[in-house]
């Protein structure tokens, strides 16, 4: 058989030699330049820069005059920062528990092969499409003491009913929590529902054959099987909690007084409001530290365990 | 083994016997609907659904009432007299500081930020995902890992260095600068999304195309891209809602109030201290701002769910 | 054995992923027009070798020559190869015609030439009616034909097949196997074919290379591989069910296995080892004689039947012999039941002897 070669004749001699490492896959490297820039310069470089400058006297402008741990000492002796951390802790604990419990319960209810599942799911999830600004403003309005929920309940005859979290420093974080849970549980419900749907039907059949009740099956069999889903949810919720900012700005602006301040807001005020960059850098480095403390056990469980197993 | 044998034997004996019995099925017949368990399930779902739907309802009814009616009445009551004036006012006249030309300005800013950000994000993320799944090179996974870790770092840590970068590039305060920031911060999740999607495409397809003489870009445009419409839609949804809803970057990287995106402007309108509070205008403005993601959400349906699930549950 | 003007030659090829050596100092020459099958179990490196030949994987060391050109570092499309994949790997959004012409368009082949080649390939493979359809609308067998067509239109010297029939059901697989053989007879191209299926290997190959752990264990014609396996691995791998192996010791002209002395008579030794050498004798189930054939047997003995597997065309009989479970193939009509006494005959000329230590054929 005669064959017509479809090989281009040029560049054949070059094929004999091994191409240099740098030039190999060149298009791929060029195409990834935006990613490489983002990863190295913005994410890695930016983080290192901020951590380094948190040890300086930077005020209005960043400058490299070392201050040792001064910024951190000032930070931790600031009443506002301590309140911010306490608030975040309260919000964090309740938000974690609340989101997981509500998210899983709703998912389990939706998983009972009910009618109108799609309608319920759309209702539970739509708040997630809305911004924290919108969320904060709506709940600010609903919780308005003169015209909102409190007013309506009093109008129904319960004259002494009092629910005014946004003006009560003791419970203002719960006012934020109501809005935060409203916005975020839908996502966790969806993830949990996907996890539940991923469980083999045979497990349910086996449980029925063994005569185990529905609730007990969930608690003893299904939840332990969904450990990875719970871990993912936990990390997502935790990462969201640390970022808590927009909701506070919209709903309470940190008030009354400083009673609903959070770390992210402290950073923003120090950096862009107070022209106190060093404080902002130190505070944001502390936020980074929090995330690291959350992430390292997770990464260890997720990846370290796998390698050993 | 013995057990199975015995079970089979037992079946063999009882089966024909059962068939000759005149009785029907034994035990009480389980009733299909409205058992007590079902009432609890539906009841709970219904009450919770009310809680979730309530704010949207309140937003709508408040925005359709006049201020006198709001001051006198009940926040949950439907409007006695429907008026669209608050909507008109929110769109055209609401004040933020000195500007009194309504949310329309913020809307057009948001659109001008949104369109290039979304197009660029999806384009870059799809190429990244493609390169990462099919043209790996030494170090490509390292860059990707750094990018993914970056997604967990609080934004506050990187805010100021980016101010410096943008200032050096002469883009600080401009819409272009904000677009670039959105592209950078949208990169981890979308790259992950595309990478995982492309990883599910059979490797042999890619090999066949290489034997057929197609290079990096030819394979991408002629083979891979035509196959990735669903994932592009998912990335599109994630980016549109994410960028539209952003507040932090808008307030940080836009220096002049007349370039603020809609969320920032909305917050300034509603939380401004001066003047009488017009709750109906505020709620109309809030609804207007929420409209774009809500429309995306209700129009995309299952894809939205798929998108957030794909984004959230790492592949 | 050296081949004059080999079509493909592989010289001292090494491939390692980190510390894992997938291919080790591999040498192979493939003659023009030869059908070579790379056979082995999964993970033996056969597909890796094919991918290196195609240029889809880069070797760590060594060279690949195709048609007298060193193509070690050439792009896959510049090597003059066509490749057919296990999953067909058809471009889903293109029609059959689009699939066939994609490579030619990339190579900027003139339009009329493309049309000529597509027409020819479509005729050979009888896929003319499918040209305007998309792969999703084709059956598995049709897809595989199109995949072969895609290699065919390239008009190349060497065809590479990576388990092309593994995704098909048994009947279709047998049909396409015959067609592939016919195709090779007509085209006379060099074909390198990877499979884990020994029936495909035996039926298609001019020569088979059996691989294990990145090395070639034996290279030879199907008859050589089957009749004179060069080592214990190949002997055990080829044949289904495989040979029964008995451990023993060489003594004069017999091998002593537990309870029996098997005469070696006319066994074709490469080199007669010394008496007392420990050895392994392997006997294929189909080489055990029963019934009428017994008359020609150099040695006979009696065994008790343990288990019978009737398979229609033939019957497998298991019995205890020499400390092993001895597998015997009888014809399909054989009437045997467990517990029967059965006289069997063994021909040492058809058996294989291996050194216990080195596992190499004696």
Tens digits of residue pLDDT in C58-77? 899 999 999 988 998 888 98
Residue B315's pLDDT is what?
Answer: 31
- Give the pLDDT of residue B33: 54
Q: Which of A3, A12, A14 sits opposite C155 (nearest CB)?
A: A3
Both A257 and A195 in one domain: the answer is yes
Provide the pLDDT confidence category of residue A39 given band limits of 50, 70 and 90: very high
Cα C66 to Cα A185: distance, rounded to the nearest angstrom: 62
Strands of the C254-257 sheet, one edge to the other: C260-263, C254-257, C244-251, C278-283, C352-355
**pLDDT, mean over chain A:** 86
Residues B312, A187: C-beta atoms closer than 8 Å: yes
- Cα distance from B205 to chain C (closest Cα, Å)? 4
Which of B55, B124, B135 lies nearest to residue A25, judging by beta carbons?
A: B135
Contacts of C54 in chain A (CB under 8 A): none
Q: Does C180 touch chain A (CB under 8 A)?
A: no
The answer to whether B212 contacts C102, with C-beta atoms less than 8 Å apart, is yes
Give C214's strand partners.
none
Please count the other Cβ atoms lying within 10 Å of the Cβ belonging to residue A104: 25
Q: Are strands C81-84 and C8-17 parallel, antiparallel or unpaired?
A: unpaired
- The pLDDT value recorded for residue B270 is 87
Percent of chain C whose pLDDT exceeds 90: 57
Domain for residue B266, yes or no? yes
Q: Quick one: what percent of chain A has pLDDT higher than 70?
A: 91
| Inter-chain touch A1–C79, beta carbons under 8 Å | no
Q: Which two tokens stand for residue A202?
A: 């045979």
Cα distance from B17 to chain A (closest Cα, Å)?
A: 23
Cross-chain residue pair B241–A120, CB shorter than 8 Å: no
Portion 12-51 of A in contact with C at CB < 8 A: 12, 14-19
User: pLDDT grade, residue A17 (50/70/90)?
Assistant: low
- For residue C236, the number of C-alpha atoms closer than 13 Å in the C-beta half-sphere is 13
Cβ contact, residue pair A3, C156, below 8 Å: yes
Mean pLDDT on C335-356: 88
Domain interval for residue B280: 109-312
Contact A176, A140 (CB under 8 A): no
pLDDT of residue A65: 84
* Residues A273-283, mean pLDDT to the nearest whole number: 89
Q: Do B214 and C102 touch (CB under 8 A)?
A: yes
The answer to whether residue C158 scores a pLDDT higher than 90 is: yes
pLDDT band at A250 (very low <50, low <70, confident <90, very high): very high
> Domain of B279: which CATH number?
1.10.3720.10
- Please give the backbone phi and psi of residue A274, each rounded to the nearest 5 degrees, phi first: -95, 0
pLDDT for res B12: 39
Task: Determine, yes or no, domain membership for B54.
Answer: no
Q: What is the Cα–Cα distance from B11 to B29, expressed in whole angstroms?
A: 23
* One domain, residues A27 and A116: no
Q: Determine the residue of chain B that is closest to A21 in CA distance.
A: B138
Q: Give the whole-angstrom CA distance, residue A121 versus residue C125.
A: 52
Asked if A88 and A37 sit in the same domain, the reply is no
CA dist C5 and A139 (Å) reads 83
Identify the sign of the CA torsion C187, C191, C197, C203.
positive
Mean pLDDT of C65-91: 91
pLDDT at A304: 63
**Min Cα–Cα distance to chain B from A135, Å:** 9
- Chain C residues with CB within 8 Å of chain B CB: 51, 54-56, 75-78, 81-83, 85-93, 102-103, 106-107, 150, 162
- Residue for token digits 């505070």? A283
Indicate whether B26 pLDDT > 70.
Answer: no
Domains, chain C, ranges and CATH?
8-230 (3.40.50.300), 244-355 (2.40.50.140)
**Residue C338 scores a pLDDT above 80:** yes
C73 to A7: CB separation less than 8 angstroms, yes or no: no
List pLDDT tens digits, range C172-185.
899 999 999 999 99
Taking alpha carbons only, the member of B217, C337, B73 closest to residue A25 is B217
| pLDDT band at residue B5 under the 50/70/90 scheme | very low
CA dihedral C199, C201, C202, C205 (to 10 degrees): 150
pTM of the model: 0.85
Mean pLDDT calculated for residue range B28-32: 58
In a domain, A102, yes or no: yes
Same domain, A25 and A114: no
pLDDT tens by residue, B157-212: 999 999 999 999 999 989 999 999 999 999 998 999 899 889 889 999 999 999 99
Question: DSSP letters of C137-182?
Answer: GS-HHHHHHHHHHHHHTT--SEEEEESTTTTS-HHHHHHHHHHHHH
Tell whether A46 and A97 lie within a shared domain: no
Closest Cα of chain A to B29: distance in Å? 17
Residue C325 has pLDDT above 60, yes or no: yes
Which residue of B70, B161, B246 to mutate against A (max A Cβ within 10 Å)? B161
Structure tokens at C212: 């294990």
**Cα–Cα dist A78/A80, whole Å:** 5
Residue of C76, C80, C114 best to disrupt the B interface, most CBs of B under 10 A: C76
Which of C74, C112, C114 to mutate: most A Cβ within 10 Å? C74
| Backbone φ, ψ for residue C345 (5° rounding) | -125, 145
Instruction: Give residue-wise pLDDT tens across range B37-66.
Output: 788 889 999 999 999 999 999 999 999 988
Taking CA atoms, what residue in C is nearest to B229? Answer: C93
Average model confidence (pLDDT) for chain B?
84
Report whether pLDDT(B145) > 50: yes
How far apart CA B147 and CA C80 sit, in angstroms, is: 40
For the segment B119-144, the average pLDDT, to the nearest whole number, is 93
**Distance in angstroms (rounded) separating the CA atoms of residues C277 and C289:** 27
| CA atoms of B24 and B11, how far apart (whole Å) | 19
Identify whether A69 is part of a domain: no
* Residue pLDDT, tens place only, A155-170: 888 888 888 888 889 9
Q: Is A252 a domain residue?
A: yes
Q: How far A30 CA lies from chain C's nearest CA (Å)?
A: 19
Domain match, A96 and A199 both = yes
Q: Would you call B143 and A120 a contact, using CB atoms and an 8 Å cutoff?
A: no
**Are B211 and C51 in contact (CB < 8 Å)?**
no
Q: Report yes or no on B33 lying in a domain.
A: no
Q: Are B91 and B289 in contact (CB under 8 A)?
A: no
Query: Please, what is the Cα angle at C137 between C131 and C140, to 5 degrees?
Result: 95
**Total residues found in chain C within this entry:** 362
Q: What total of structural domains would you count in chain B? A: 1
Check residue C121 and give its pLDDT: 93
**Residue of chain C nearest B134, judged by CA positions:** C56
Same structural domain, A206 and A121:
yes
A98 within domain boundaries: yes
SS3 of B160-220: the string is HHHHHHHHHCCCCCCHHHHHHHHHHHHHHHHHHHHHHHHHCCCHHHHHHHHHCCCCHHHHH
Q: Which residues lie across from C160 on neighbouring strands?
A: C83, C192
Using a CB-CB distance cutoff of 8 angstroms, which residues of chain B are in contact with residue A227?
A: none
**Peptide bond before residue A256 is cis, with ω within 30 degrees of 0:** yes
Chain A residues with CB-CB distance to B41 below 8 A: 109, 112, 114
Asked if the Cβ–Cβ distance from C54 to B214 is below 8 Å, we say no
- Mean pLDDT lowest among A260-264, B87-91, C332-336: C332-336
Does residue A260 share a domain with residue A123?
Answer: yes
Q: What is the pLDDT of residues C243-292, one digit of tens each?
A: 999 999 988 888 888 888 888 878 888 888 888 889 999 999 999 988 88
C-alpha distance from A170 to closest chain B C-alpha (Å)? 22
Are A231 and A295 contained in the same domain?
Answer: yes
Chain C nearest C-alpha distance from B210 (Å):
6
Nearest CA in chain B to C103: B212
Same domain, A48 and A104: no
Residue A133 has which token pair?
A: 């600004």
Residue A8 has a pLDDT of: 42
User: What torsion, rounded to 10 degrees, do the Cα atoms B218, B221, B224, B229 define?
Assistant: 180
Strands C35-39 and C244-251: unpaired
- In this prediction, residue A9 has a pLDDT band, given cuts at 50, 70 and 90, of very low
What pLDDT does C47 receive? Answer: 92
- Say whether B156 and A264 touch across the interface (CB within 8 A): yes
- Residue A39 and residue A83 in one domain: no
Which pLDDT belongs to residue C335?
Answer: 85
Contact C83 B208 (CB under 8 A): yes
Indicate whether A110 belongs to any domain: yes
Cβ contacts of C93 on chain B, cutoff 8 Å: 226-227
Write down which chains contact chain C via at least 3 CB pairs under 8 A.
A, B
The first and second tokens of residue A159, run together, are 């004259």
C78 and A12 within 8 Å at the Cβ level: the answer is yes
Query: For residues B1 and C169, what is the distance between their CA atoms, to the nearest angstrom?
Result: 33
Whole-angstrom Cα distance, residue C313 to residue C330?
9
CA B42 to CA C34: how far, in whole Å? 72
pLDDT tens-digit map of A85-137: 999 999 999 999 999 999 999 999 998 888 888 899 889 999 999 999 999 99
Label residue C84 by pLDDT band (50, 70, 90). very high
CA distance B227 to B202: 12
A87 vs chain B: nearest CA distance in angstroms? Answer: 17
Quick check: A45 contacting B, CB < 8 Å?
yes
Highest mean pLDDT, choosing among C68-72, C131-135, C331-335: C131-135
Q: For residue A80, give every residue at least 6 positions away whose Cβ sits within 8 Å of its Cβ, in sequence order, or none.
A: A258, A261, A266
B219-249 in b/e burial notation, b at 16+ Cβ within 10 A? bbebbbeeebeebbbbbbbbbbbbbbbbbbb
Mean pLDDT of C96-123: 93
- Asked if A151 is an interface residue toward chain B (Cβ–Cβ < 8 A), one would say yes
Question: Quick check: A217 pLDDT over 80?
Answer: yes
- Averaged pLDDT, B276-303: 88
pLDDT at B25: 61
Flag if B157 and A285 touch (Cβ within 8 Å). yes
Indicate the number of domains in chain A.
2
Read off the pLDDT band of B251 (50, 70, 90): very high
Option in A132, A186, A277 nearest B160 (CB): A277
Maximum distance among all Cα pairs of chain A, rounded to whole angstroms = 101
Q: Determine the angle formed by the axes of helices B302-312 and A172-197, rounding to 10 degrees.
A: 100
A147 assigned to some structural domain: no
C70/A contact by beta carbon, under 8 A:
yes
CB nearest to B147's CB, from A43, A45, A295: A43
List CB contacts (< 8 A) between C154 and chain A: 6
Burial label for C132, CB within 10 Å (0-12, 13-18, 19+), is exposed
Computed from CA positions of residues A110, A111, A115, A119, in that sequence, does the dihedral angle turn out positive or negative?
Answer: positive
In the structure, what pLDDT confidence band is assigned to residue B29 with cuts at 50, 70 and 90?
A: low
Q: Is residue B43 part of a domain?
A: no
Exposure b/e, B169-179, CB count within 10 A at least 16 = b: eebbbbbebbb
In order of C44, C265, C275, C276, the CA distances from C252 in angstroms are: 39, 10, 6, 9
Residue-range definition of the domain harbouring residue A104: 78-140+171-308
**Token pair for residue C285?**
């189930």
- Per DSSP, the three-state class of B79 is coil
pLDDT at B219 over 60: yes
Is C77 in Cβ contact with B226 (below 8 Å)?
no
A233 and A191 within one domain: yes
In a domain, A235, yes or no: yes
């Amino acid at each position: 058989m005669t064959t017509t070669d479809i090989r281009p004749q040029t560049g054949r001699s070059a094929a004999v030699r091994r191409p240099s490492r740098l030039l190999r896959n060149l298009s791929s490297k060029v195409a990834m330049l935006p990613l490489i820039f983002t990863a190295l310069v913005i994410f890695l470089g930016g983080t290192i820069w901020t951590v380094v400058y948190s040890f300086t006297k930077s005020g209005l402008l960043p400058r490299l005059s070392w201050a040792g741990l001064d910024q951190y000492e000032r930070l931790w002796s600031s009443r506002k920062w301590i309140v911010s951390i306490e608030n975040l802790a309260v919000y964090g604990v309740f938000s974690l528990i609340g989101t997981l419990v509500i998210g899983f319960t709703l998912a389990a209810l939706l998983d009972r092969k009910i009618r109108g599942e799609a309608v319920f799911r759309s209702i539970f999830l739509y708040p997630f499409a809305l911004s924290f600004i919108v969320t904060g403003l709506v709940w600010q309005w609903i919780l308005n003491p003169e015209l909102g929920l409190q007013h309506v309940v009093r109008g129904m005859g319960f004259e002494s009913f009092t629910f005014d979290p946004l003006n009560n420093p003791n419970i203002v974080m719960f006012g934020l929590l109501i809005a935060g849970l409203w916005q975020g549980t839908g996502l966790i419900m969806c993830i949990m529902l996907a996890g539940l749907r991923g469980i083999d039907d045979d497990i349910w059949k086996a449980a029925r054959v063994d005569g185990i009740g529905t609730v007990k099956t969930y608690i003893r069999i299904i939840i332990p099987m969904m450990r990875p889903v719970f871990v993912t949810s936990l990390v997502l919720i935790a990462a969201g909690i640390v970022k808590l900012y927009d909701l506070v700005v919209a709903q309470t602006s940190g008030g009354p007084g400083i009673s609903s301040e959070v770390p992210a807001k402290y950073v923003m005020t120090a950096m862009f409001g107070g022209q106190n960059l060093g404080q902002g850098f130190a505070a944001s480095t502390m936020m980074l530290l929090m995330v690291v403390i959350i992430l390292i056990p997770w990464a260890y469980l997720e990846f370290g365990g796998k390698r050993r197993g | 083994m013995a057990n199975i044998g015995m079970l089979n034997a037992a079946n063999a004996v009882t089966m024909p016997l059962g068939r000759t019995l005149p009785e029907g099925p034994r035990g009480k017949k389980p009733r299909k609907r409205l058992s007590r368990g079902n009432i609890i399930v539906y009841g709970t779902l219904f009450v919770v659904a009310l809680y979730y739907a309530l704010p949207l309802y309140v937003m709508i009814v408040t925005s359709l009432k006049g201020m006198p009616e709001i001051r006198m009445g009940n926040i949950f009551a439907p409007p006695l007299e429907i008026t669209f004036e608050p909507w008109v006012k929110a769109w055209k006249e609401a004040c933020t500081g000195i500007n009194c030309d309504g949310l329309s300005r913020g809307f057009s800013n948001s659109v001008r930020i949104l369109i290039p950000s979304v197009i660029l994000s999806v384009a870059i993320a799809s190429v990244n995902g493609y390169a990462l799944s099919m043209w790996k090179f030494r170090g490509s996974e390292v860059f990707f890992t750094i990018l993914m870790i970056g997604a967990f770092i609080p934004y506050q840590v990187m805010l100021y260095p980016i101010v410096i970068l943008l200032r050096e590039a002469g883009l600080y305060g401009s819409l272009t600068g904000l677009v670039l920031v959105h592209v950078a911060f949208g990169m981890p999740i979308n790259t992950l999304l595309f990478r995982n999607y492309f990883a599910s495409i059979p490797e042999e397809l890619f090999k066949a195309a290489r034997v057929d003489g197609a290079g990096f870009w030819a394979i991408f445009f002629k083979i891979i891209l035509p196959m990735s419409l669903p994932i592009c839609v998912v990335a599109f949804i994630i980016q549109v809602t994410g960028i539209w809803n952003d507040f932090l970057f808008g307030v940080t990287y836009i220096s002049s109030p007349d370039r603020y995106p809609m969320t920032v402007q909305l917050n300034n309108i509603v939380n401004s201290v001066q003047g009488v509070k017009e709750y109906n205008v505020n709620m109309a403005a809030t609804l207007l701002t929420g409209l774009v993601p809500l429309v995306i959400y209700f129009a995309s349906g299952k894809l939205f769910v798929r998108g957030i699930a794909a984004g959230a549950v790492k592949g | 054995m050296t081949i004059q003007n080999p079509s493909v030659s592989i010289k001292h090829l090494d491939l390692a992923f980190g510390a894992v050596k997938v291919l080790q100092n591999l040498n192979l020459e493939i003659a023009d027009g030869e059908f070579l099958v790379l056979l082995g179990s999964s993970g033996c490196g056969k597909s890796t070798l094919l991918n290196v030949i195609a240029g889809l994987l880069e070797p760590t060391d060594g060279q690949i020559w195709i048609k007298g050109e060193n193509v070690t570092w050439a792009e896959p499309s510049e090597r003059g190869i066509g490749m057919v994949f296990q999953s067909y790997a058809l471009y889903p959004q293109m029609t059959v015609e689009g699939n066939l012409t994609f490579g030619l368009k990339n190579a900027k082949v003139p339009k009329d030439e493309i049309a000529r080649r597509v027409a020819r390939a479509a005729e050979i493979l009888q896929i003319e009616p499918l040209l305007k359809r998309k792969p999703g609308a084709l059956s598995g067998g049709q897809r595989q034909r199109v995949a072969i067509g895609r290699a065919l239109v390239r008009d190349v010297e060497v065809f590479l097949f990576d388990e092309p029939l593994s995704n098909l059901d048994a009947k279709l697989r047998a049909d396409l196997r015959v067609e592939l053989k016919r195709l090779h007879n007509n085209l006379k191209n060099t074909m390198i074919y990877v499979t884990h299926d020994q029936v495909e290997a035996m039926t298609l190959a001019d020569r088979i290379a059996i691989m294990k752990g990145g090395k070639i264990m034996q290279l030879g014609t199907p008859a050589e591989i089957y009749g004179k396996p060069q080592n214990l691995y190949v002997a055990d791998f080829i044949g289904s069910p495989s040979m029964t192996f008995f451990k023993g010791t060489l003594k004069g002209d017999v091998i002593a296995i537990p309870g029996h002395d098997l005469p070696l008579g006319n066994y074709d030794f490469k080199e007669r080892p010394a008496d007392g050498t420990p050895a392994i004798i392997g006997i294929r189930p189909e080489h055990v004689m029963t019934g009428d054939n017994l008359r020609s047997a150099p040695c006979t003995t009696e065994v008790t039947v343990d288990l019978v597997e009737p398979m229609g065309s033939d019957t497998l009989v298991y019995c205890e012999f020499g400390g092993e479970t001895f597998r015997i193939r009888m014809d399909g009509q054989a009437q045997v039941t467990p517990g029967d006494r059965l006289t069997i005959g063994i021909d040492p000329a058809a058996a294989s002897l291996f050194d216990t230590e080195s596992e190499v054929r004696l």
